[in-house]
Chains A and B, each alone.
Chain A
C-alpha cells in the first residue's frame, strides 16, 4: 500500500507492525518523533508493547539489554548525544549477544551543540559490535528496520542492529512510500524464541559475568566471528525481503558503475543528490558512477574492492570528521579494502556536510571534476580535504 510518511513515521509504523515486547523511550532531536508516534499507538491500544519512559538514553539501552536478556524483543531510538550516552552499553549489548534494534536518526555530535545531520554519532559507535545499516530515503529506513530483526536474531549472528537514517533530511521530510501489509510483516519477522533467557522457567541463566583473561579473548573472537557471519545473513534476509516487497537490497548499491572510471563512495541521503549529478555527467559523456554504502558494519571490504576495481579515480565522501588527521572513517575502510587490488584507483577523501551543511549537485560535480583531473594527470593533490566550509576570507 502506498502512503506519504516522514522517515520517523515510517520507522514508527514499522515498529507498530512488529509490535515489539519492550521499548525504551527517551526524547532527543531528531529521533523524538519515533517514541512519540509509538506512544500514540500504545495509547490507542494498537500495540501492547511495554513502553518504558526512561530518564536517559543510558537507561533506555539498559532497559533494552535487560529486556532482551529476559527473553523479549527490545527496541529504542536515539540520535547524537543520546547515542553517545549509550556508548558503554552498546558494547554490553553486543558482547551479551543481544539482538536489540536501535533506530539511529543521525545527528551531529555536540561540541558545539548542533541538531542537524551528519554521521558523527553512529560513526563513533562503529566499533561497538553493532551491525550498522544506513538508509538513503524513507523507503529504505522502513525496509531496513523490517530486515533488522531477522538479521540480528539469527543464531549464527545474535548481534544488535542499528538502522540509521539522516536526521531531518530523511527523518522529517515526507515522501511517497510503499508499506507492506502487517500480516506480511509479522510472517516475515516471525516469533522471537531465544534458546536461553532470564525468565525461562526450566533453566535459570546468568548474564554479564566478570570475565578474566583466560576467557575474555575467546568471547571476543566469537563476537568477531558473528560479525563476519552477519554479512551472508544480511544478503539472505535481503533476498527474502525482495520476495515480499519487490525491492532489492545488497551490502551497497552500485549506481551506473558498470563502466565507471570516476566513482564516489558515500553513505545516506547524499546518494540521491549524487545520483542526479551522475546522471547529468553521464549525459555529458563522463563515465561517472556511485557506490552507496548500505551496510557499514560488517564492512563489505572484498565486495567493495571488486566494485571499484575498474575505476581510475575514487572520491570517498565522509559525512563525519574522525579527527584522525588522516581522513574520515569511510575513507580509512575503503582505502584499506582496495589495498589488495592489483591496479588500485587514485583515491581522495572529502569530508562534507558536517552539522547539516548542505551539499548540492554542483558540489558533487566539482568532486567529479577533481577526479577527472586526477585521472588525466595522475596528480592527486591533497588527499584529505573538507568541502562546503567558508574560506578564511569569507569568515573574516
Chain B
C-alpha cells in the first residue's frame, strides 16, 4: 500500500460505519468514527468498543447496529477496561488456537466518558499496555444528557450546568489537558487531531495509532451543533477555526517525541473561533471584552509552550 494519503482511494474501501445511524446532522462524532475506522486495513477485523454516549445510543439501538465489525458497549465509565477485556480474550484464545487472524481493538468515548468518569479505567488500560486504541471524540460537554459541563468544557462556555446569568459567566475553569495526561503515561503514541478537509490528519494519526503496538490514544475534537450552538452546515468551518486559532493544536507524541503536525500560516484571533458559537455569545456582550482577552492569553500561553516542547 502506498503511504501517500489519497482520500479517493480510502473512501473506496468497504464502509465499516454505515449510514442510517441516528446522530444529528452537523455532528462531528459520526465523521470521526468513520474517519478512524477507514484507517483499518481492508482485510483486517476490528472489535469496536463504546462508552455510553450520544454515539452509542445513536449507533446501536436494538436491533440495528451501524458497525460492520463486532462491537461492545457495557457502561459509561469502563470502555477502556472493556477494550482491555476483549484484547485479553483475544490473546488467550489465540494462544489456545481458538481464534486466528489479526483483530484490532478500537474504543470510542466522549469527553464525559474519557476526561471525567472514565479516566481511571483509561489510565489503568494504558498502564497495563493492552494493544488497543482509545479515541476520545471530544465535544466538550455531556451532550447525550443535554449539554452539561465536563472537565473538557472550555472556560466561559455556556452549558446547562454552567449557565450565563447576572452572576454566572459560563464555566469557571479552563479545559483539562487530557492529551498531556495520556502522554505522561509514556504510551507509544498519543495525538490530537480533528476532522478537517480531506481527513488526512485524522487518517494518518488513526493509522499510526492502530498499527503501533501497545496502547495508543487519539483526542479528536468533535464539534456538536446542539451544544456549541452553530448551524449544522458550519461543522467543517468550526473545526478548521479551532486549529487555525490554535485553540485545538494538532500534534503527536511518538515514543516521547513531541511533534507539531500543523502550524497555521496565519494564527487567527481566538474570537474567530468563539464568535460563530452560541455557547460563547455572552463573551461578545459590551463589558465582557476581558473574557475574550483571557481566552486569548490562555491559548497563547498554551501554544507557546507547545512550540517549545516540539522544538519549533
The yes or no answer to B230 lying at the interface (CB within 8 A) is no
Whether the Cβ atoms of A21 and B96 lie closer than 8 Å is yes
- Counting chain B CB atoms within 10 Å of each CB, the highest count among A64, A72, A88 belongs to A72
Q: List 24 A-B contacts (CB under 8 A).
A: A21-B89, A50-B95, A52-B128, A55-B124, A58-B78, A59-B84, A59-B121, A62-B82, A63-B85, A64-B85, A66-B85, A71-B98, A72-B88, A199-B70, A199-B89, A199-B99, A199-B103, A204-B67, A204-B69, A206-B70, A207-B72, A208-B73, A209-B60, A210-B61
CA distance A206 to B56 in the complex (A): 11
Whether the Cβ atoms of B61 and A201 lie closer than 8 Å is no
Quick one: given A67-B85, A72-B93, are A92 and B72 in contact (CB under 8 Å)? no
The yes or no answer to B45 lying at the interface (CB within 8 A) is yes
The yes or no answer to B86 lying at the interface (CB within 8 A) is yes
Provide the residues of chain A in CB contact with B47, threshold 8 Å. 70, 198-199
Provide the residues of chain A in CB contact with B61, threshold 8 Å. 209-210, 212
- Please give the residue numbers on chain A whose beta carbons come within 8 Å of chain B beta carbons, in ascending order: 21-22, 24, 48-50, 52-56, 58-59, 62-72, 74, 88-89, 92, 96, 198-201, 204-212, 215
Provide the residues of chain B in CB contact with A65, threshold 8 Å. 74, 82, 85
Residue of B nearest to A192 (CB): B98
Provide the residues of chain B in CB contact with A55, threshold 8 Å. 120-121, 123-124, 127
Residue of A nearest to B22 (CB): A210
| B63: contacting residue among A50, A54, A72, A209, CB under 8 A | A209
| B71: contacting residue among A62, A71, A200, A207, CB under 8 A | A207
Per-residue 0/1 for B70-107: is the Cβ within 8 Å of any A Cβ (1 yes, 0 no)?
Answer: 11111101100111111011111101101111010000
Residue of A nearest to B124 (CB): A55
Quick one: given A74-B85, A199-B103, are A50 and B78 in contact (CB under 8 Å)? no
Whether the Cβ atoms of A66 and B70 lie closer than 8 Å is no
Residue of B nearest to A216 (CB): B62
Provide the residues of chain A in CB contact with B70, threshold 8 Å. 198-200, 204-206
The yes or no answer to B68 lying at the interface (CB within 8 A) is yes
Whether the Cβ atoms of A69 and B86 lie closer than 8 Å is yes
Whether the Cβ atoms of A209 and B75 lie closer than 8 Å is no
CA distance A66 to B130 in the complex (A): 14
Chain B min CB distance to A94 (Å): 12
CB-based A-B contact count at 8 angstroms: 164
Quick one: given A54-B124, A62-B78, are A49 and B92 in contact (CB under 8 Å)? yes
Whether the Cβ atoms of A52 and B123 lie closer than 8 Å is no
Other than A67-B86, A71-B98, give 9 A-B pairs with Cβ distance below 8 A: A22-B92, A59-B124, A72-B92, A92-B75, A201-B101, A204-B68, A206-B67, A209-B61, A212-B62
CA distance A112 to B126 in the complex (A): 34
Whether the Cβ atoms of A48 and B121 lie closer than 8 Å is no
CA distance A209 to B100 in the complex (A): 27
Whether the Cβ atoms of A211 and B62 lie closer than 8 Å is yes
CA distance A211 to B64 in the complex (A): 10
Quick one: given A21-B93, A199-B90, A201-B100, are A52 and B72 in contact (CB under 8 Å)? no
The yes or no answer to B296 lying at the interface (CB within 8 A) is no
Chain A min CB distance to B83 (Å): 7
Provide the residues of chain A in CB contact with B60, threshold 8 Å. 206, 208-210
Whether the Cβ atoms of B85 and A62 lie closer than 8 Å is yes
Provide the residues of chain B in CB contact with A62, threshold 8 Å. 74-75, 78, 81-82, 84-85, 121
The yes or no answer to B65 lying at the interface (CB within 8 A) is yes
Whether the Cβ atoms of A209 and B84 lie closer than 8 Å is no
Quick one: given A52-B128, A59-B81, are A69 and B103 in contact (CB under 8 Å)? no
| A22: contacting residue among B62, B85, B101, CB under 8 A | B85
Chain A min CB distance to B241 (Å): 33
Whether the Cβ atoms of B88 and A67 lie closer than 8 Å is yes
CA distance A72 to B90 in the complex (A): 8
Provide the residues of chain A in CB contact with B95, threshold 8 Å. 48, 50
Provide the residues of chain A in CB contact with B81, threshold 8 Å. 54, 58-59, 62-63, 66
The yes or no answer to B57 lying at the interface (CB within 8 A) is yes
Provide the residues of chain B in CB contact with A54, threshold 8 Å. 81, 84, 124, 128
Quick one: given A66-B84, A71-B98, A207-B72, are A50 and B89 in contact (CB under 8 Å)? yes
| A198: contacting residue among B57, B72, B100, B121, CB under 8 A | B72
The yes or no answer to B147 lying at the interface (CB within 8 A) is no
Chain A min CB distance to B49 (Å): 7
CA distance A70 to B78 in the complex (A): 16
- Counting chain B CB atoms within 10 Å of each CB, the highest count among A55, A58, A215 belongs to A55
Provide the residues of chain A in CB contact with B67, threshold 8 Å. 204, 206
Residue of A nearest to B90 (CB): A199
Whether the Cβ atoms of A207 and B78 lie closer than 8 Å is no
Residue of A nearest to B95 (CB): A48
Per-residue 0/1 for B223-245: is the Cβ within 8 Å of any A Cβ (1 yes, 0 no)?
Answer: 00000000000000000000000
Provide the residues of chain B in CB contact with A53, threshold 8 Å. 128
Chain B min CB distance to A129 (Å): 15
- Counting chain A CB atoms within 10 Å of each CB, the highest count among B73, B83, B85 belongs to B85
Whether the Cβ atoms of A74 and B89 lie closer than 8 Å is yes
Residue of B nearest to A215 (CB): B62
Chain A min CB distance to B65 (Å): 4
